[in-house]
Amino acid sequence: MEELARLAGISVRTLRFYRERKLIPPPRREGRIAWYDDHHLARLRTITALLERGHTLNGIAELAEAFDHGRDVADLLGLGTPTEEVPVRLTPEELADRFAGEVTAENLAAAMDLGYVGTDGDEFVHISRRLLEVSATLVREGIPLAEVLDAGRQVREHAEALADLFTDLITRHAPLDDLHRLRPLAKSVVEAELSLALDRRLQKQGDG
């Protein structure tokens, strides 16, 4: 314990306090010997970094619980690696920096439930760099992350319905193997229709 505290730059008393608050997972025990490893050290350094960023111990405890009970990255990518989206690895500190003040246990749990975020050891893995950047930009524009995630959930429902529509349309008239080749056509239709719909909304706002 003394060595772990020294490497983490904290006192043994602080380490015991963190353990009592369940901010770090329990050590592996062999008889009376408690073994701490690199995961414990990484968690302690994360706690220090989050405290420096203004997070409270209660907030960190909630994040730690969500992290420890979150979806594993293997579960997140259970259907296979995305063919076009690029997953992004983030430390807890990096995630907190991207969504300053918005990384709460509730938002983290919602992102995990939505399938945006999974855990891999001491890191988070976001399923899509594009979705990550858009979400972070919207938050910087003043939109609460909770509302961004709720919008993402609604978009997911519509996207699944559109994927079903195009899959059914194409496979009724072409071999299943053609679905991947014709996939860009479906994306183009959705992008064009969304662009036109936004034009109509903007015009309506202007007329109002």
- Write down the domain spans for the chain: 1-52, 66-157, 158-207
Fold held by 1-52: Multidrug-efflux Transporter Regulator; Chain: A; Domain 2 (1.10.1660)
State residue 40 phi and psi, 5-degree precision. Answer: -65, -40
Strand residue runs (E) in the chain:
28-30, 33-35, 88-90, 117-120, 123-126
Report the pLDDT averaged over residues 145-149: 95
Q: Which pLDDT score, from 0 to 100, does residue 132 have?
A: 95
Residues 96-126: tens digit of each pLDDT: 888 877 887 788 888 888 888 887 777 888 9
Reported as a pLDDT band with limits 50, 70 and 90, residue 80 is low
Mean pLDDT (the chain, rounded): 84
**All residues at 6 or more sequence positions from 45 whose CB lies less than 8 Å from its CB, including other chains:** 8
| Distance from C-alpha of 136 to C-alpha of 97, rounded to nearest angstrom | 10
pTM of the model: 0.71
| Distance from C-alpha of 92 to C-alpha of 43, rounded to nearest angstrom | 9
CA-wise closest residue to 102 among 71, 129, 138, 68: 138
Reported as a pLDDT band with limits 50, 70 and 90, residue 70 is low
Higher pLDDT, 180 or 150: 150
| Distance from C-alpha of 8 to C-alpha of 28, rounded to nearest angstrom | 18
Q: Which pLDDT score, from 0 to 100, does residue 145 have?
A: 94
Residues 154-183: tens digit of each pLDDT: 999 999 999 999 999 999 998 888 888 999
Reported as a pLDDT band with limits 50, 70 and 90, residue 72 is low
Percent above pLDDT 90 for the chain: 33
Question: Buried b vs exposed e over 28-53: b needs ≥16 C-beta within 10 Å?
Answer: eeeeeeeebeeebbbbbbbbebbeee
